[in-house]
Structure 1
């Protein structure tokens, strides 16, 4: 096996889930009297659900936050099997990187169970050596903890690792971890370049095959 690793964010990077996430945040928040704009929601994309909800509700009251999250997850559970899809080049990229000998991992602020269910649903869990979702003992992005934890599991140096993501928080976490960040440009990621400098920028996920070896 190669001593190099490629780590991927999940939502908005390899799984086209952002439209559904926006829809369900909107439904959950509106039931509690908050009408967040699409731009507001997109600016917080990449943070854990509880943090997004706390920011938009302007409260840290656990019972209130948990009530909104319950409604968001209820919406997600209703629609995800019909509305989530892989980005068209995801399977090809994972297959080719695996063929080239890279160790692969997922680092996502989504809950561990959600990450595993999603990857298994699309039959791509087998490509990943480590799947790391949000758990209580690791600080989520933009902290570097989850990235460093996965690299430790993979026994790969941070100088031999790449992190692929679509949000500012992916970029900040990579910078803090000392890992090369590769930005996949999505419609909501335009603000990243003004606040954090990626190592490389991709127009499409498949472009990664031209820049790492």
Structure 2
């Protein structure tokens, strides 16, 4: 199979940011008076849109305060970046550079709003690798609906069946499989077994390829070339 394009998730896939997001959400919830939300409950929702996270955890009352919650959350998250608590995963730039050198089209599809994505990519100096960037604010239905990946492939002019989605949770794998893309799950040595998978058919949540790290994925791609 010749893959023309690769669509990457960001958080937990290219950057080690999940714990920073958890801390940011917890802090923002406490700021508006919700101190009983557990880190585990937040952690298993990372990958969904911010509005979906707030709706699930705080309900309609939380949604009415979403703008304030989001502002506090963003402030805390970027502080975590400045303090060095968010880093690129090993081999992330090398993998992106290799794919570009092979003439592949690259996209980023993240639940994070586009205006924040651009700032994050510029901070980590990987913005220029991507041909398209699709944030969660560009689609009506967030992950695990496939809309964000459909839009990314459409902007690249590539049929999803000729592309791959690279992510770290079922929020990436399930929609990738639904649109016929080649799904790649990156574990980052976490032992992630998609344990937070909702009720669905087994095939929808099984990745076509599972790797321990971006470094392993890079080596596999190089071997396939030979």
Say whether the fold is shared (TM-score over 0.5): yes
Match of 1:149 in 2: 151
Match of 2:22 in 1: 22
Structure 1 residues 193 and 169, CA, compared in 2 at 3 Å: closer, same or farther? same
Contact 1:3–1:103 (8 Å) recurs in 2: no
Give the C-alpha shift of residue 153 in structure 1: 1.5
Aligned to 1:131: 133
Instruction: Describe the shift of the 1:193–1:140 C-alpha distance in structure 2 as closer, same or farther (beyond 3 A).
Output: closer
Q: 1:137 to 1:159 in 2, by over 3 A?
A: closer
2:43 is matched with: 42
Relative contact order higher in (CA < 8 Å, ≥ 6 apart): 1
Deviations 1:70-129 (A, max 9, x none): 321221233322222111210111111111111111000001011111111111111111
Displaced runs of 4 or more, over 4 A: 192-195
Q: Give the aligned CA root-mean-square deviation in angstroms.
A: 2.2
Q: CA deviation at 1:15?
A: 1.1
Distance 1:93 1:192 in 2: 27
Q: Is the 8 A contact 1:42 1:188 kept in 2?
A: no
In structure 2, runs of 5+ residues without a counterpart are none
Matches of 2:22 and 2:196 in 1, distance apart?
22
Aligned pairs, number:
212
Name stretches of at least 5 consecutive residues in structure 1 with no aligned partner: none
Q: TM-score, normalised by structure 1?
A: 0.90
Output the TM-score relative to the length of structure 2: 0.85
Task: Select which of 78, 88, 91 maps to 1:89.
Answer: 91
- Tell me, in whole angstroms, the C-alpha distance in 2 between the residues paired with 1:16 and 1:9: 12
